Structure 1
Amino acid sequence: MPRIALIGGNARPITTAHELGVDVVLVHEEGRYEPDFADYCSRILHAPIGDSAAILEVLRPLHAEQPFDAVLSATEYAAIAAGEVADALGVPGTTARTARALKDKAETRRLLDEHDLSPIRHAMVASEQETADFAESVGGRIVVKPADGVASLHVHVVESREDAATAFKQLREAGYTRAIAEEYLEGPVVSVDTFSHRGRHVVFGMSEYQMNDRFVEWEVSTPSRVAAPHRAELTELVGRLLDVVGLTDGPAHSEFVLTPTGPKVLESHDRFAGSGAPELVRRACGVDLYRMFLAVQLGFEELPQTSPVNDHGAAIRFFTPQPGTLKEITGLDTVDALVLTVPPGEAKGNIVPLLSRTREAEVVVVITRHPGDTLPELRSVKDCSSGYVIATGKDADEATAICERVVDQICFHVE
């Protein structure tokens, strides 16, 4: 039986491993995973998932007893640590070098510049003055964000010296002393989901977003309508991007802005896209990326030669109630959908809990909040934590329309 060490992540890779007969040793943080994970893992070990030394301490004895066939992670928070552990144990997995190249947005830009790929104006900044000077050199709007940020946190649009001062003050208060400043890219944002094996990259999904003014994605749909005219160019660009950063195996989630002069790289990650995107891909074209995550990398199955055809469309839309104290939720008893509720205290920061159970119906509502809960302001993707609707349609337009209709029927009464 193949044996893997899985660092962090959600339930889907674990349940898929169980289906494939793969022995999983899970390393996770206590209280940060769903209780039924224990039903699918031979061992669960507790360690900070971003601390490679702590992870190695708990895994080395088990590796000595029975070597792991791979060390994998499907979450960005553990990507570098998982790479360092795989390198240290000498087993397959994304290398720490590739994980760092994708995690560090400045290093990603450096590599892109080195290969003259999707160049944009950018600079590392360490003060309000440097930020304002860069904005003036660009001659227009810029974006300032942490070089190693995640989940749309602390992203600031700067159009003036006053904006630069405010942005860097907030970055410093959040603990950042340096940030990356980039020219503002005009156009819709789309993502490209790929899977790679031995250096060959295949596109499995192209999605588009609805976002608020803080770049928080509250709706994702696939296949992307706005990306369709650029599909060939995006496919070539994402392959070159993954080659530049050295990613040869496993999933990747790359984001692009469709500017008036063509697609430009926004950023990329050596993981699945968030917001339930792998389930959207499965609903749209029938490909199970979570199964591929193990079956291809462990040699059970071959990576398809070509991208699949989208027979359907799929969408996920998060509930975005006003911040405050939740009094009650109405409309759940009349909505035309399967309704699932996460017990109090079990969401654990996962914005798409119960994702594996959403396969049970074409339209599913997942509620994670209960009366008395405090609902946050929508400042980052992490704040999309009140639940979601996921739906399949004949195309993406129909899927998004279904999600909108269901969301409109459900009311979060907030004080």
Structure 2
Amino acid sequence: MIIVPYAPGGSASPSETARACAPFGGAVFVVGTSSPLDERGRAVLEGAGRVVVADDPANVIASLAGTPVDGIVTFADAMLEVAAVLAEALGLPNHSPRTAACLRDKAAQRQRLNEAGVGFVPLVWSGAGTELRPFGPGTYPVVLKPRNGAGSEQCMILDGAAGHRTANARLDPARQYVAEGYIPDGAPPARHLADFLSVESAVRDGTITHLGISGRLPLAPPVREGGTVFPAPLSRATSEQVTALASRAIRALGITLGVVHTEIKLAPGGPQVIEVNGRLGGYLSELMLLVGLADPVSLAVRLAAGAPLPEPWSARGSALVVLRQPPMRARTVLRAPAPRDLVSLPGVVRAKQWARAGSPLDWRVGTAGMVLQVWMRGADWAGLSHDYLELTDFLDRSLSYTYDISEGIRG
């Protein structure tokens, strides 16, 4: 069996996880007692494998007495530390608790990377949501985000002291936040793409194999994901630069096992690490399959179980997922196209509607607040980008919203 500490919103669905764990006897999903799973979510998990609800690792281990366990893997940031503690107690390979804590804590991670000389991004401030005060001159702009957040939730860019009053009104007083220096904008690797990307890597016994590099569509304000393209259209020199930087970051954080997602910005002075995630990157499970690669969810499970890995691979074609974000001032959806209308467009292979007419909207939830998710495939990025522009034009004409003009925010 494979133990899978689970939380909603991870980078692999219960069904994807169950298929990957099937060769090892199936999945045991470990869920905390305070998990936000609703009745339907619980039923989905129970249909995919065994479910253990417990917060104390000792209770989890007791419930698994007599069950042979081959490995532990998680696809959710929120469960990295749970996975590490369980693995240590069971004598199974995983991130060490110290490394897992560093992967979850954005302040500790940035401090570790800076100290190891893996680039340098100033760590300006860290504290409770009630403690944010204007920073000193020469500090701005800064990126403000939850210290243990994911998916761009509550992320903001502060350009000066004037933004602090607005920011404070939106922060959760019960949460901790971190402010980092804004990495300067650089040149995107190709037209229609952003100046940041991510390196997907597999690590076993400290040996790092880079699986590929994904490019990104431009962010929606303030810092919400607009979409991912795999593989990224990069020159060999840029590919070598960013994979070398990802390797340095992985080693600096003490990662010795698992699939790793390293986000990197192509800054003017050279690539800089945005952050390192100790699990598979979002949307990569489907993007890699669309271009004919092996299932990365299965790869992550096989790493955890110590099983042989597939041969090195190369992508055939280009795949893209568009995450259509509403404007920041949008409060409800007035009109949105149905998935059947989208799949008739060139290059579109699948579409999912996340918000229908009348659905409330809130940019603070981050990337998860999207209206539509559209999957596309093409022979290469040059051809796919043409279809992407057609889709963008269609969405611009087909989507409409109600707006709140009282907040005075842009975007």
TM over 0.5: yes
Alignment map for 1:36-55 (pairs within 5 Å): 36-41=44-49, 43-47=50-54, 54-55=55-56
Aligned length: 375
Distance across 1 between alignment mates of 2:305 and 2:161: 53
In structure 2, the CA distance between the partners of 1:228 and 1:280, relative to structure 1 (3 Å rule), is farther
Quote the residue 2:374 is aligned against.
389
Q: Deviations over 1:348-380 (max 9, x none)?
A: xxxxxxxxxxxxx97111224445433444751
Residue 292, structure 1, aligned to residue 295, structure 2: no
SS at match of 1:33: helix
| Identity across matched positions, percent | 20
Quote the residue 1:319 is aligned against.
324
In structure 2, the CA distance between the partners of 1:106 and 1:324, relative to structure 1 (3 Å rule), is closer
Quote the residue 1:185 is aligned against.
184
Q: Which runs of 5+ in 1 are unaligned?
A: 48-53, 339-360
Quote the residue 1:197 is aligned against.
204
Quote the residue 1:157 is aligned against.
157
Point out the more displaced range, 146-155 or 161-170. Answer: 161-170
1:314 maps to a residue whose letter is A
Alignment equivalent of 2:351, drawn from 362, 365, 368: 365
Shift of the alpha carbon at 1:313?
0.6
Distance across 2 between alignment mates of 1:370 and 1:183: 35
Quote the residue 1:256 is aligned against.
264
Quote the residue 2:408 is aligned against.
none
Alignment equivalent of 2:224, drawn from 194, 199, 216: 216
Alignment map for 1:14-93 (pairs within 5 Å): 14-17=17-20, 19-28=22-31, 29=35, 30-31=37-38, 33=41, 35-41=43-49, 43-47=50-54, 54-93=55-94
SS at match of 1:380: helix
Quote the residue 1:399 is aligned against.
384
Distance across 1 between alignment mates of 2:334 and 2:271: 45
- Does the 8 A contact of 1:98 with 1:247 survive in 2? yes
SS at match of 1:315: strand
Q: Deviations over 1:114-136 (max 9, x none)?
A: 2222123223345444x412xx2
- Does the 8 A contact of 1:280 with 1:314 survive in 2? yes
Cα-Cα RMSD? 2.9
SS at match of 2:288: helix
SS at match of 1:132: coil
Distance across 1 between alignment mates of 2:99 and 2:362: 34
In structure 2, the CA distance between the partners of 1:412 and 1:57, relative to structure 1 (3 Å rule), is farther
Alignment map for 1:238-253 (pairs within 5 Å): 238-253=246-261
SS at match of 1:79: helix
- Does the 8 A contact of 1:221 with 1:313 survive in 2? yes
Distance across 2 between alignment mates of 1:231 and 1:72: 28
Distance across 2 between alignment mates of 1:242 and 1:27: 26
SS at match of 2:41: coil
In structure 2, the CA distance between the partners of 1:315 and 1:174, relative to structure 1 (3 Å rule), is farther
SS at match of 1:309: coil
Quote the residue 1:175 is aligned against.
174
In structure 2, the CA distance between the partners of 1:62 and 1:333, relative to structure 1 (3 Å rule), is closer
Quote the residue 1:348 is aligned against.
none
Distance across 2 between alignment mates of 1:201 and 1:213: 34
In structure 2, the CA distance between the partners of 1:380 and 1:226, relative to structure 1 (3 Å rule), is farther
Distance across 2 between alignment mates of 1:295 and 1:315: 26
Shift of the alpha carbon at 1:45?
2.4
Point out the more displaced range, 242-251 or 55-64. Answer: 55-64
Quote the residue 1:124 is aligned against.
125
- Does the 8 A contact of 1:132 with 1:161 survive in 2? yes
In structure 2, the CA distance between the partners of 1:372 and 1:137, relative to structure 1 (3 Å rule), is closer
Shift of the alpha carbon at 1:252?
0.9
- Does the 8 A contact of 1:284 with 1:311 survive in 2? yes
- Does the 8 A contact of 1:205 with 1:281 survive in 2? no
Distance across 2 between alignment mates of 1:5 and 1:286: 25
Distance across 2 between alignment mates of 1:152 and 1:334: 29
Quote the residue 2:409 is aligned against.
none
Residue 279, structure 1, aligned to residue 279, structure 2: no
In structure 2, the CA distance between the partners of 1:337 and 1:195, relative to structure 1 (3 Å rule), is farther
SS at match of 1:318: strand
Shift of the alpha carbon at 1:178?
5.0
Distance across 2 between alignment mates of 1:34 and 1:314: 31
Shift of the alpha carbon at 1:315?
0.3
Q: TM-score, normalised by structure 2?
A: 0.81
In structure 2, the CA distance between the partners of 1:333 and 1:60, relative to structure 1 (3 Å rule), is closer
- Does the 8 A contact of 2:343 with 2:351 survive in 1? no
Distance across 2 between alignment mates of 1:248 and 1:362: 38
Distance across 1 between alignment mates of 2:177 and 2:316: 45
Shift of the alpha carbon at 1:298?
1.7
Distance across 2 between alignment mates of 1:34 and 1:205: 34
Quote the residue 1:354 is aligned against.
none
2:387 maps to a residue whose letter is I
2:160 maps to a residue whose letter is S
Distance across 2 between alignment mates of 1:395 and 1:316: 14
1:22 maps to a residue whose letter is G
Q: Which runs of 5+ in 2 are unaligned?
A: 187-194, 403-411
Q: TM-score, normalised by structure 1?
A: 0.80
SS at match of 2:294: coil
Residue 103, structure 1, aligned to residue 104, structure 2: yes
In structure 2, the CA distance between the partners of 1:20 and 1:403, relative to structure 1 (3 Å rule), is farther
Q: Deviations over 1:31-62 (max 9, x none)?
A: 27374443331x21234xxxxxx152542223
Alignment map for 1:322-341 (pairs within 5 Å): 323-326=330-333, 329-330=336-337, 332-337=339-344
Distance across 1 between alignment mates of 2:364 and 2:386: 22
